[in-house]
Copies of this chain bind each other. A is one copy, B any other.
Amino acid sequence: METLTRNQQIVLDIINKSSEPLKAYTILSNVQKKGIKAPPQVYRALDKLIEMGKIHKIESKNAFVACQNSSCNVSKATAFSICESCEEVTEISNSKISKYLSNFAEKAGMEYKKYNLEFFGLCKKCK
């Protein structure tokens, strides 16, 4: 069980508390009172947290969310649905899809290490 450093814990805490994806500079401005002063400190923490599977990056938004799927401790297969109206991002528990997709990648002759899938549309509330 990997133990977090001070900066990693601070960054993770703020992401965990947020109900929406946070941008790196939003995180920075929210942790400056805790002593984190510059972008590299945030980005380093983010990188490690991603490696550990504690958070994921939403590529289409350049934003970061806590892993909502406790089993996802290696972040090798991620899937999200993103509401274009309310901006809600939900992590899709990947067991259903991941089997299908890894199977596909294999057949396609690719030695796949990970994938990222992002759905865009309207969530239940907004449609």
State the oligomeric state as a number of copies. 2
Evaluate contact between A115 and B110: CB separation under 8 angstroms: no
Evaluate contact between A120 and B114: CB separation under 8 angstroms: yes
Evaluate contact between A104 and B113: CB separation under 8 angstroms: no
Main SS class of interface, A: mixed
Residues of chain A at the chain B interface (Cβ within 8 Å)? 59-60, 81, 83-84, 92, 94, 96-97, 100-101, 104-105, 108-124, 127
Evaluate contact between B105 and A119: CB separation under 8 angstroms: yes
Evaluate contact between A120 and B115: CB separation under 8 angstroms: yes
A56 to chain B, nearest CB (A): 12
A92–B113 Cα gap in the complex (Å)? 17
A120 to chain B, nearest CB (A): 5
